[in-house]
């Protein structure tokens, strides 16, 4: 076991380094306050707000015909963002969740009592989801102190700490600096992230990134890595996004925002050269929604957006751009400068309520009702007066190959007993004694066929 001496020495060197930088900026070391004691106090305080998120459910399993899912158990992280048991994490952490549990921080912070390695747990509900931001809001019947949100964002070179459960090792923390305050990883995605060299690994997703004041500056979201582990390229969703998204997820279950009716991309050098666009910066319109606000004023694909409300695009910070793109309420009016074929014009758009793919989500406990375990499938009854159960997905596993069923099949009968509901299908299967054969009448691609399997 390595002693604490080298670690304290490293912190001392870091403190001296910061003191040197501070002196150059007419500051004193006390102004920076980087000491082992202050770091320990910060970690102890923030640690009471960080949870491990344990998700069990089903994810795409691959292989076979049609839709195949597999049982899964994933571990991520989360942080209390408000009183009342509200916890934020990443959407990919809770993807396919059937059951969500939070492993709560230990009372003593960095100490796990002998004989209780797993920690205290509580169930959580998924009440808000924003896949476009990779953000999810959970709620649990627990009282956790929320981490205060930083009001001033971050600066390049600022000291930050990443909390979470890397590789399932809960209550972990790493230290680094902000490599970039606004890194747009995907030119086709309007979201820009905080880049940090703090060690972030699988399991850190959804955990907080905090500054030296113990304030939340971002939510650890993903890494760029060739090895699968931390290589100093971690990315966190900025607190400005969290601050705008949280109340919407809490109140509506999704991002309740204004919609301009168009998709924008950064004009890369390749796009500029290929489409023979001018050198001036802007955002190119890659898609326009039919009958949306943009289409109504004549904006089309290939147009370049130069300014919004008189502010040039290349002079907007990410936070300002985000407010235009995700923070505008329905009914807001925006003046947009549009370039096309050498001419620039200004149009006025009024936002409408943005469409969304999901209503307020739940913990998906109703998935149990759709499970037909002996047949390794999920099913749902047909609508419109038709009888039978539609196979919506197969469950990957050792028993999957025992039954020749595919997603899209409709089970009409079991041993000549008509199947009208999921309950009747389960009852008919349960009535078959073990070691005996059940014969399913199945409609597949418009034709009836028989499928047999042995209980």
Question: Which residue, 135, 269, 147, is CA-closest to 284?
Answer: 269
Instruction: Tell me whether residue 141 is one of the annotated catalytic residues.
Output: no
Element (H, E) at 293: helix 293-296
Which residue in 205, 230, 337, 407 is the catalytic one?
A: 205
Residues contacting 365, CB < 8 A, separation 6+: 98, 99
Is 108 annotated as catalytic?
Answer: no
User: Does residue 205 carry a catalytic annotation?
Assistant: yes
- For β-strands 68-82 and 389-396, DSSP reports them as parallel
Counting other chains too, the contacts that 384-387 makes at CB distance below 8 Å and 24 or more residues apart are 387/412, 387/418, 387/419, 387/420
d(Cα 88, Cα 219) in Å, to the nearest integer?
Answer: 8
Provide the pairing of β-strand 50-60 with 68-82.
Answer: antiparallel
End-to-end CA distance of the chain: 54
Q: Which whole-number Å values give the CA distances from 11 to 6, 41, 198, 232, 280, in the listed order?
A: 9, 14, 15, 19, 46
* Catalytically annotated residue among 49, 77, 95, 134: 134
Q: Which of 92, 256, 311, 356 is catalytic?
A: 92
Which are the catalytic amino acids? 92, 134, 205
């Amino acid at each position: 076991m390595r002693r604490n001496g080298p670690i304290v020495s490293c912190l001392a060197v870091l403190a001296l380094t910061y003191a040197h930088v501070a002196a150059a900026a007419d500051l004193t070391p006390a102004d920076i306050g980087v000491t082992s004691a202050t770091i320990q106090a910060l970690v102890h305080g923030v640690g009471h707000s960080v949870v491990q998120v344990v998700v069990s459910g089903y994810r795409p399993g691959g292989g076979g015909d049609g839709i195949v899912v597999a049982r899964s158990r994933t571990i991520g992280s989360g942080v209390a963002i408000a009183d009342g048991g509200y916890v934020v994490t990443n959407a990919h952490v809770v993807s396919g969740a059937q059951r969500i549990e939070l492993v709560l921080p230990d009372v003593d912070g960095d100490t796990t009592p002998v004989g209780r390695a797993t920690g205290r747990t509580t169930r959580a509900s998924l009440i808000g989801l924003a896949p476009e931001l990779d953000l999810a809001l959970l709620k649990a019947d627990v009282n956790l102190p929320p981490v205060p949100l930083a009001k001033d964002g971050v600066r390049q070179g600022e000291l930050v700490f990443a909390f979470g459960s890397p590789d399932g090792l809960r209550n972990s923390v790493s230290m680094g600096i902000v490599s970039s305050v606004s890194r747009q990883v995907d030119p086709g995605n309007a979201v820009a992230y905080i880049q940090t060299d703090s060690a972030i690994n699988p399991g850190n997703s959804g955990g907080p990134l905090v500054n030296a004041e113990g304030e939340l500056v971002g939510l650890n979201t993903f890494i760029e890595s060739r090895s699968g582990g931390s290589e100093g390229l971690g990315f966190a969703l900025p607190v400005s996004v969290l601050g705008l998204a949280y109340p919407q997820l809490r109140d509506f279950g999704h991002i309740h925002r204004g919609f301009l009716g168009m998709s924008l991309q950064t004009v890369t050098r390749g796009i500029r050269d290929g489409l023979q666009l001018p050198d001036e910066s802007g955002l190119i319109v890659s898609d326009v929604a039919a009958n949306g606000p943009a289409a109504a004023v004549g904006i089309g694909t290939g147009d370049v957006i130069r300014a919004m409300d008189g502010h040039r695009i290349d002079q907007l910070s990410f936070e300002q751009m985000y407010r235009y793109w995700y923070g505008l309420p329905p009914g807001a009016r925006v003046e947009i400068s549009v370039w096309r074929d050498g001419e620039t014009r200004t149009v006025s758009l009024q936002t409408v309520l943005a469409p969304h793919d999901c209503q307020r989500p739940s913990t998906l406990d109703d998935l149990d009702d759709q499970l037909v375990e002996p047949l390794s499938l999920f099913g749902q009854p047909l609508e419109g007066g038709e009888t039978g159960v539609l196979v919506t997905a197969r469950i990957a596993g050792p028993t999957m190959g025992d039954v020749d069923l595919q997603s899209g099949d409709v089970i009409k009968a079991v041993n000549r007993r008509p199947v009208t509901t999921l309950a009747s299908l389960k009852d008919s299967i349960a009535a078959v004694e073990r070691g005996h054969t059940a014969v399913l009448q199945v409609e597949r691609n418009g034709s009836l066929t028989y499928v047999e399997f042995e209980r």
